[in-house]
Chain A
C-alpha cells in the first residue's frame, strides 16, 4: 500500500475540502491523518493518504489546481507506524510583540533540552504574536528548561509559560 504525504494550499473559498476530498476518493486514496485550516485567508491542507501511486494523485490534483488558485504537492513516504512518545507532554505558551525569530529561538531551546515539538500553531493579531506548542520532554528536564526559556524569552521581549499538558481524562 502506498502512503502519500499531500499538501494543498490556496486562497480560501467555499468547497476546497470537498473538491480535494472528492478527487482523492475517486482515485481510491484513503484519507488518514490530516489537518486543514485557514491561515490568514489561505486554506492549508496537510494530509496523509494511502492508496494509489503518487503520480496519479498529482495529476488529478493538478487539474484541480489549474481551475482555481491551488498549489498541491504529493510525495510518497514510508509508513513509520505510530511513534511512541519520547517523554512527558508539556504545553509552551509564548506571547508578546511580534518580531523576527521568536519561533526559531524558542523551539531551539526546546530542542537543545531534548524536546520534540509535536504540534504548534501561531497567531498574529495586531501587534500581538502568540505561539502555542505541544512538546514532549525527557523526564526531569522541565525544571531547568523553564529558566532557559525565560532567558531566551527576555532576549526576544516576549512572555513564556511551560506547564504539563493536561492528562486525558476519561
Chain B
C-alpha cells in the first residue's frame, strides 16, 4: 500500500516546538502503579493556554530524559490526551517527523503488525515484547494553532506513536505483551 492510497501525510506544516512560544519546564515523571496511568485521559482544547504549556513541558521533560523517544501527559501526572514524540536519530527509525506534540490523537489505519521489545519511563525496571503496526496513519491536533494533522509513518516512529496513544487511553505496554514469558527485567538503562 502506498502513502497515496492511505491518504497523504499532511505533515506538521510550519509547526515547530518554537511555535509554542513558551519555555518548557521539566516535570516529574510518575511510575506505575499510579492511577493516572490507568485512566483514559480527557480530550483537550489544543489552543488552550494550559495545553500549550503542557506541550512545551512534555518536550522539555522528554529532552532531559536519556533515551526517551516519547512522553505522554499521563506520565507527568496529567490526565490529558497530549503526547510528545521524537525519534530523531534512532537507528530503527525510517520515517521521522522530528519533534512534535499531538493532542487528541487517534489511530486511523494500522497494518503490518510486527513484534518488538518496548520499555517505558513509567515502568522503569521492565521491558516487554509487544506487537505493533509498522505502517500507521494517525490524526490529531497540533498544540497552539489547533490545526488538524494526518501523519503517515512506519517502523519505530509508528511504534512510539502507538505506545503514546495507548498511554492516553490508560494502557501500558504491560497490557499488550504477547504472553507470560514476554516481560523481562531491564538489563540496560539508557
Contact = CB atoms under 8 A, between A and B. Distances in A.
Partners in one complex: yes
Interface of A: 91, 93, 95-97, 119-121, 123, 125-130, 132-134, 158-159, 161, 163, 165-166
A132 B183 contact: yes
A95 B131 contact: no
B180 interface: yes
A95 B177 CA distance: 12
Given A121-B180, A132-B182, A166-B131, A126 B31 contact: yes
A128 B123 contact: yes
A134 to B, nearest CB: 5
Q: Is the interface on chain B under 10, 10 to 19, 20 to 34, or 35 or more residues?
A: 20 to 34
A95 B172 contact: yes
B66 interface: no
Interface of B: 31-33, 38, 123-126, 131, 171-172, 174-183, 185
Contacts of B176: 93, 161, 163
Contacts of A96: 32-33, 38
B102 to A, nearest CB: 24
B181 A91 contact: no
A95 B170 CA distance: 12
A128 B33 contact: yes
Given A126-B125, A159-B38, A93 B175 contact: yes
B185 A123 contact: yes
Nearest to B175: A161
B185 A97 contact: no
Nearest to A133: B180
A161 B183 contact: no
A152 to B, nearest CB: 15
Contacts of A159: 33, 38, 175
B126 A127 contact: no
Given A128-B123, A161-B171, A120 B183 contact: no
14 contacts: A91-B179, A91-B180, A93-B176, A95-B33, A95-B175, A125-B124, A125-B185, A126-B125, A128-B31, A132-B177, A132-B183, A159-B33, A161-B175, A165-B178
A132 B31 contact: no
B125 A93 contact: no
Contacts of B172: 95
B33 A127 contact: yes
Contacts of A129: 33
Contacts of A166: 131, 178
Contact of B126 (A97, A130, A134, A158): A130
A19 B172 CA distance: 40
A120 B172 CA distance: 19
Contacts of B182: 132
Q: Which of A96, A126, A132, A158 has the most CB of B within 10 A?
A: A132
A95 B180 contact: no
B132 to A, nearest CB: 12
A120 B33 CA distance: 20
A133 B178 CA distance: 10
Given A95-B32, A166-B131, A132 B175 contact: no
A95 B174 contact: yes
A91 B172 CA distance: 15
A127 B131 CA distance: 26
